[in-house]
Every structure is written in structure tokens, then in C-alpha cells.
Structure 1
Amino acid sequence: MTNELSFKEKFHSWRGKYFPERQLFLRSEGRVRFLTIGSYTQIAMSTALSGFLIWGSITTYAYLTRDLKLEEKNKTISTMSNQYQSLSSDFSALEVEVERRTKQLEERQKFLEEMAKKTGVVVDESTSLEVSDQEPQTIVPRNDEEKTSSLFQELLGSKPAAATEVATNIDRRKSLLTRLENAEAQQRNFATAMLAKLQADSSFIQETLKPTKLTTEDILTHMDGNADTYGMGGPYVPETGFSAVFEATDHKTFDDLNNEWLRLEMVTNALDSFPVGKPAEKYYVSSKFGRRRDPLKKTWANHPGLDLAGWPGTAIYATAPGKVVHAGWFGPYGRMVEIEHGNGFKTRYGHMRKLRVKKGEEVTVGTRVGDMGKTGRVTGTHLHYEIWFNGKVRDPAPFLKAANNVLKIQGRDEETSE
């Protein structure tokens, strides 16, 4: 109670000090009037005036700062708009890049699948072209076209429908680009493996031809160049060739693979004209190619062929497919058959007692062209067998030794064995 009275006393003291009762003197028409304003009235008026001033200050401040807030909001909206435009532009560029690289990898995939068939690479059907974040490993392409393109379909999936999806889709495209890089590395590993196989095949051909003193360059140089003489074909290659996808030189392996295959294909086609057959049914070598004592003059002379002796009438066969360009008497050769095989090769069969083909006739390997005899300049029954390449006579012995390997290169070794 004491505290309450004390507070009242303090309040009344404060009121009496700051808001004492005041009188206003009003003079009008010679009369003076008094208007008394009590302390409580003064307090009420002061409170109202203070509240008005505070409200006015707040209102004025809000009005003055409204433009600043609007400008800040506009800046925020502009920044967000620019960020969206940047993201949208990045997304569009990234999507174009994904589509471009996807198309290139699809073309490489098609090329690899065809090359796998043409090079004879054994493809495990259970093995597929998988794309993961793991280290790339040597793979083989799968045969299921729908499964093969599943990754590419995913990469070319639907575009974002709303702005909020742009950033998410950019991350997704970047992730898919990483997977594309892994797929490209896997394709390159497989192409490298096939290239190694083709190079090994080329080396095998070089070793096979070595005893004959011919090279693959010789074979390619003297190809007929007539597309009608052999089948045309090859793996799918884009019109503009292969181009880099991720690295400046990552297309080189595919170009090398295609060039090596084309070169090997041309050499193999040219070797279809290589004499691989047995020139006679049964024989023994009675005189080799090169320098020897002439059997008639008994002086040293050059022998431009291989003499294969046997029984009279022994069958004589064409050793490669071709066209008979001579069938008849030919001076010291007696009855002779000459066959043009194409690609720089031709063969001659001399001293026969009977001819079984005519000029202009087409023959295949094993076609009987005549019977062994002793016509012309001879001392006994035998076949004089010559092989010519690029207008020069060659020693037939290395060709006979290389025949089995050439048959393997031609893919006819199994047919011959049967």
C-alpha cells in the first residue's frame, strides 16, 4: 500500500511539474474569459500528438524507402532471369553437344558391328556394350540393335518442361556425357583389338609372300583396278569420315582400322589371282628354275620355269582362275596353254601332248587344261610350268610352297581340303 501511494505521489509530482493546470486568457469585445486546461487533458493531447508524429514518421519512412525496396526486388528478379537465361543457354548448348556426340558414337557403333562380322572376330552374344562409371575395358558390340541404342535414346530423351528442371537436366546431361566418354573409350579399345588382328593378318600375308619376293605393295600396285573383277563392299563409314568426339585424336584408331581393312581387302582380292593349285596330278621336279646346263646343247643357260616330270597323259590343271589367252603350238614350248589370271599374274603350261581348252575360255582352279607330253624342245615327258608377275617370269617353287597359306588367306583352304 505504501508503494502504491508513493507511486501516486511520484506521478502527481511529475504531472504537476510537466503538465500543471494552465489557463488561457481570451479577450473578446472588451471582455476577458478564462479557459482552464487540466493536466490530464494536456497529457491526453500530448499522447495523441506524439502518436501522430510517430505514425507520420513511420509512414514517411516507408514511403521514402518503398522505391528502394522495389528497385532491390527488380534487381533480384533481373538477376534470377539472367541466371535462368544462362542456365537455359548452357542446357541448349549441352544438349546439342550430347546429340552430336551421340550421333558420332552411333556411327562408330555401326561401323564396329560390321567390322566384327567382316574381320571374323568371335562375338559373345551375352556380351553387350555396357556404359558405366568404371574404368573402360575391351568389349564387343552387341547384336541387338534396340539394346545397343538404349543409351543413345536416353541421351536424346525429352526436354525440360519447366524452368526449375533446367539445372537438374544439365546435371543429368553432364552425367550422360561422362557415360558417353566411357562408351567411346570402350569402342576405341575394341577397335584397337580389331586393328591388331588386321595388322597380324597383314603380317601373315607379308610372310607368306616373302619367299616369292613379292610384297603387298607389289600386289596393290598391279591390281587390275576393275571393280567388276571382284565383289565390292565394306563397313559403314560416315560420308565425312570419322571425326573426334572427346579428344582431338580419338578418331584415329577408327580411321586406321578402316584403312587397314580396305588395304587388306584389296590385297586379299588381288590374291585371288595368285596361283595356288597343283599344276599336275602326279609329278616330280626334274629341273628347277634358274641357271642350269641345257639338256640339248650341254651349255649353261637360264631356265625360266619349273620342269615337272610324270607319266604321259598325266592331267595338267589350271592353278588359278582366269582366261585362256593362248592354246596351241608355241615354238619350243610345243603345245602350250597360257592363262591370264588378272592383277599382274599369268601362267604357262608347255610341252603337252593334248590340249583340253581353247583360247578365250574361262577356267577355274583345277580346270584340266591338257595332258602331259613331250612336244616342242624336250628330251622327255614333262610339264614346263611358268609363273609370270608384272611381265617378269618368277620361280614357281616358292609359289607352290606358299599355296596353302594363300588358300587360308583366300578362305578356300577348307574347300580345298574337302
Structure 2
Amino acid sequence: MANELTLLDKFHAFRAKYFPERQLFLRSEGRVRFLTIGSYTQMTMASAIAISLIWGGITSYAYLTSDLTLQEKNRTISTMSAQYQALSSDFSALEVEVERRAQQLETRQKFLEEMVGTPAAPLPELEVMDAEPEAATTTSAGPDTSENLSTGAQNSTFIERIFGTGSAQAAVHSNIDRRKNLLFRLQDMEARQRNLATAMRDDAVSELANIDSVLAPTKLASSDLIEKFGSQADAQGGPFVADVAFEPVFSEEDGNIYAELFTERQRLEMVTNALNSFPIGEPAEKYYLSSRFGRRVDPLKKVWAKHSGLDLAGWPGTAIYATAPGKVVHAGWYGPYGNMVEIDHGNGFKTRYGHMRKVRVEKNEEVTLGQRIGDMGKTGRATDTHVHYEVWFDGRVRDPMPYLKAANDVLEIQGRHEKTSQQ
């Protein structure tokens, strides 16, 4: 209680010192009057004046700095609008890039499907999510909104939409992230396609190497078959359709493997097609080898001479068969060959069958593998019943024995190729 009286005394002392009771003397028409102003009245008036001064100062400061605040907010909004436009441009560029790469991968996918013969895994779909309409509308109205801010209209709503939620930026960032994820998926798809193309190219190269090893005893190579196969393609035509170039998708080299695959598969296709003309059949039903190809003592003149085929002996009338499909280019008497049949099998291959007792085909007749073309005899320059069997390739006579030995392997290659073509 003593403390409260002390504070009260201090208050009264302060009031008595600074706000003593004052009197105002008023003189009018010879009369003098006075007006007494108490301490509390003075304190009330002083407080009112102080409050007014403070309010005026605050109001003046707010008025003077409001333009600066609005300008700062407008600069912030302009910056955010520019950032949004930049994000939108990045978004559009990324979307175009995704679509371009997806189209290129689809082209490669179709190419691989044609090579494999069955559809491969589908590409990921390009999903498009537009930014929120409200956010896009708000941002696009940036310049007009600045004018609205200067007049004080719609201030809180716009500021809340820009600074509060940030929905426009979030939508664009979300879309860019999704497209980046899609690019990663497309990149993974490209890597898997490239691995598949590499494996297919290696298989084609391996098959060509296997064919070369099979043909090695015949002194033929896949390049020889390709050369002759290309020389047979004189009759060509049709509308021009430009080939699809394998443009880079993610790196400058990622399209090279497809060109290599196309080249190797084309080479393999030409070789296997040419091998369809390879003599793989038995030239006679039953026989034994009576004379080999090459240097020998001539059976009539008894001097060394060159023998251009195999002499396969058997019983008179033994069936003689075509060792590959083709077209009969000669059927009848042919000097020392006696009754002879020559068949053009295409792709540089020909076969001859001499000394036959009877010819069962005619010139220009198409024959099939294993078709009977005559009967074994000893017409022409011969000492006894046999068939003189010759194999020709690219205009040169070859030793038929390696061809007979390679027949089963070539037949297996033909079977694999036919099975692949049917898939």
C-alpha cells in the first residue's frame, strides 16, 4: 500500500510540475473574465495532440512509402512472370524433344520388328498435362495486374495466388519432371533396342562366318555369292521410296549399330538366297565313285589329262536326278558328253550330267530338286555305264566332291533361313 501511495505521489508531483492548473484571462468590453484549465484537462489535450501527431506521422510515412511497396511487389511479380515464361519455354522445348526422340525410337522399333518378324515391347506413351488454367491466366495477365495493383484493386487475391500457393510454377515443374522421367524411360528403351540390334548383328555376322566355314572346302566365300547374287538383279523397278535414316537420338553413335545390322542382315539374306541355288542333291540313285575331279590318266588315250567332273558309275538305267532346282538350258546330244543335260540353277550355279542313255527333260523346262532328268548310260566318250557330273560357278568348273560333302550343312542353313522367313 505504501508503494501505491508513493507512485501516486510521484504522479501528482509530475502533474503539478508539468501540468499545473492554469487560468486564461479574457477581457471583453471592459470586463475581465478568467477560465481555469485543470491539470487533467491539460493532460487529456496533450495526449490527444500527441496521438494526432503520431497518427499523422504514420499515415504520412505509409502514404509516402506505399508507391515504393507497390513498385517492389510489381518487380517481384514481373520477375516471377519472367520465370514462369522461361519455365513454359523449357517445358515446350522439352516436350518437342521428347516427341522427336519418341518418333525416332518408333522408327527403330518398326525396323527391329521387321528384322525379328514379331512385335517388340511398345514404347512408353507421351502423357501431356497442361498447367492449371487459373494459374496460366493469372500469369499471362501480368502487365494488366500491375495496373490493378496501382489502383489498389484485387490486391489480396492476386498476391495470395502468386505468393501463397505458387500453383503455376508447381504445375510447370511437375510437367517438366514428368517429361524428364519420360526421357529417362525413352533412353532406357533406346539402350535396350541398341542391345537387341547389337545381338542381332552379331548373330548375322556369326551366321555368315558359319556359312564361310561350310563353303571353305568348295573354295567359295559369302562375298562370292553376294557378288553373283547382285549381278542377277538386272530386272528391277518400282516407285522410289526414300530409305529411313537412323538419326542419332541420344548420342551421335547410337544409330550406327542399326546401319551395321541392316548391312549384315542384307548380306546374310543375299547369301542364303544364293544358297538356294547350291547343288545339294545326290546326282544318281545308286552309284560309286569311279573317277575323281582333276588330273588323271585318260581312259582312252592313256595319257595324263584334266578331268572336269566326277564319274559316278552304276547300273544301266539308274535314275539321274537334278541336284538343285533350275531351268534346263541343254537337253540332248553334246559331243563327247553324249546325251547331256545342263541346268542353270541361278546365282552363278550350273550342273551338267553326261553319258545318259535317256534324257527325260526338255530345254527351257523348269525342274525341281530331286526331279528325275534321265537314265544312266554310256553314250559319248565313255568306256562303261556312268554319269559324268559337273558343277559350275561363275563360269568356271568346280570340283563337285566338296559340294556333295557340304550338301547337308547347306541344307541345314537353308532350313534355318526358311524357318526364320516364315516367322
User: Which residues of 2 match residues 324-339 of structure 1 at below 5 A?
Assistant: 324-339=328-343
| C-alpha deviation, 1:380, in angstroms | 1.5
The yes-or-no answer on 1:116 pairing with 2:86 is no
Cα distance in 2 for partners of 1:381, 1:413 equals 39
Contact 1:319-1:366 at 8 Å conserved across structures:
yes
Q: What does residue 63 of structure 2 align with?
A: 63
Q: 1:157 aligns with which of 117, 121, 127?
A: 127
SS of residue matched to 2:124: helix
Q: 2:402 aligns with which of 394, 398, 401?
A: 398
Deviations 1:338-387 (A, max 9, x none): 11111111111111121111111111111211111111112111111111
Cα distance in 2 for partners of 1:264, 1:188 equals 20
Q: 1:376 aligns with which of 376, 380, 391?
A: 380
Q: 1:265 aligns with which of 265, 269, 275?
A: 269
The residue type equivalent to 1:152 in the other structure is P
More helix by share: 2
Cα distance change of structure 1 residues 94 and 72 upon mapping to structure 2, 3 Å threshold: same
The yes-or-no answer on 1:274 pairing with 2:244 is no
CA RMSD of superposed structures (Å): 2.8
The residue type equivalent to 1:378 in the other structure is A
| C-alpha deviation, 1:229, in angstroms | 9.4
User: Which residues of 2 match residues 83-232 of structure 1 at below 5 A?
Assistant: 83-117=83-117, 148-149=121-122, 152-153=124-125, 156-162=126-132, 163=168, 164-223=170-229, 225=231
The yes-or-no answer on 1:363 pairing with 2:333 is no
- Number of matched residues? 380
The yes-or-no answer on 1:347 pairing with 2:351 is yes
Q: Which moved more, 1:190-199 or 1:214-223?
A: 190-199
Identity of aligned residues (%): 66
Cα distance in 2 for partners of 1:7, 1:194 equals 102
User: Which residues of 2 match residues 311-322 of structure 1 at below 5 A?
Assistant: 311-322=315-326
The residue type equivalent to 2:302 in the other structure is K
| C-alpha deviation, 1:34, in angstroms | 4.4
SS of residue matched to 1:312: coil
Contact 2:290-2:313 at 8 Å conserved across structures:
yes
Deviations 1:253-283 (A, max 9, x none): 3322222111101111111111111111111
The residue type equivalent to 1:324 in the other structure is V
SS of residue matched to 2:211: helix
| TM-score, with length taken from structure 1 | 0.83
Cα distance in 2 for partners of 1:229, 1:277 equals 29
Contact 2:309-2:388 at 8 Å conserved across structures:
yes
SS of residue matched to 2:276: helix
Q: What does residue 81 of structure 1 align with?
A: 81
SS of residue matched to 1:62: helix
SS of residue matched to 2:352: strand
Cα distance in 2 for partners of 1:218, 1:226 equals 13
Q: What does residue 52 of structure 2 align with?
A: 52
Q: Which moved more, 1:380-389 or 1:17-26?
A: 17-26
SS of residue matched to 2:370: coil
The yes-or-no answer on 1:253 pairing with 2:257 is yes
| C-alpha deviation, 1:227, in angstroms | 5.9
Cα distance in 2 for partners of 1:245, 1:11 equals 88
